[in-house]
Amino acid sequence: MSFFKRNYLSNQALTNLKNYKYVSGEYSIMDHVLTPFWNASVKLLPMWLAPNVVTLIGLIGLVL
């Protein structure tokens, strides 16, 4: 069975992948302005709602 076993990532890479945490950066002055708005928006929307649906709702609101 070892013939079918493939090691694509080393143990070090798997450990690093397990411990990875995304941290967003601040890229513009608008990040300070819009961050409170986005945090409030997240509290209004259910967590099961897909991000693409949120984008679609925004697009529909913009078109209307």
Whether residue 42 has pLDDT greater than 80: yes
The CA distance from 64 to 62, in Å, is: 6
- What value does the mean pLDDT take over residues 2-9? 67
Whether residue 48 has pLDDT greater than 70: yes
- pLDDT: is 26 or 29 the higher one? 29
The CA distance from 12 to 43, in Å, is: 37
The CA distance from 44 to 54, in Å, is: 11
